[in-house]
Amino acid sequence: MNADLYKVHELPKIPTELTDLVTKSDPEDSEWLMYKYTNRPELLERYRKILRWYNVPSEISDYIFDTEFFANHPERDKLGCFYHMVLPDCDGIHTDDLRTYTYNYVIDNGMPDNRAVPVATYDSDQNLVTQIKTYPGTWYYLNVEKNHRVWNYTQPRRIITINNLKTVEEIHRHHPELMI
């Protein structure tokens, strides 16, 4: 198993009544905040249109952090929980600059028939290292400091993401230039 990308089988599915709290609401009209980030400043305006992050309601984060996996996670006190929506134009090989890893729960993989959507890691020369297929209702781990890519989706991907960022407000405080 590659330590930079793998499926996490120990985590349970998140109940639909919880995922509906984010997917059936309109975050634009809510109190949730969004931010955009990129380590490629030339893409800032484009990414502001295709990447959205929101704080999740406490019912979702409580459910996730009460699982044995996250309750006992060695960095539990450093983890944050977000709702992440990515539009189809965001599919190039890249690294992230504000977080180092993520556990993603796929609510909607961006395909109308729920076909698999690939996630892959690459070496520094952009040669494929590892690839997995993701489906709704599954978790995967990704080291986002490594080159990675998600592609082959036609609609917004909707995920719950657990990573080493605490809150959207914290990011805005440290990086006000990233606010939309």
Give SS3 for 48: helix
Contact status, residue 137 vs residue 95, Cβ threshold 8 Å: no
Q: For 161, phi and psi rounded to 5 degrees?
A: -120, 130
Report pLDDT digits (tens) over 102-149: 999 999 999 888 888 999 999 999 999 999 999 999 999 999 889 999
Report pLDDT digits (tens) over 36-60: 444 455 555 555 555 666 778 899 9
Fold exhibited by the domain 5-178: Jelly Rolls (2.60.120)
Q: Residue 120: what pLDDT?
A: 93
Contact status, residue 149 vs residue 5, Cβ threshold 8 Å: no
Q: Residue 77: what pLDDT?
A: 86
Give SS3 for 59: helix
| Segments making up each domain of the chain, as ranges | 5-178
Q: What is the pTM of this model?
A: 0.82
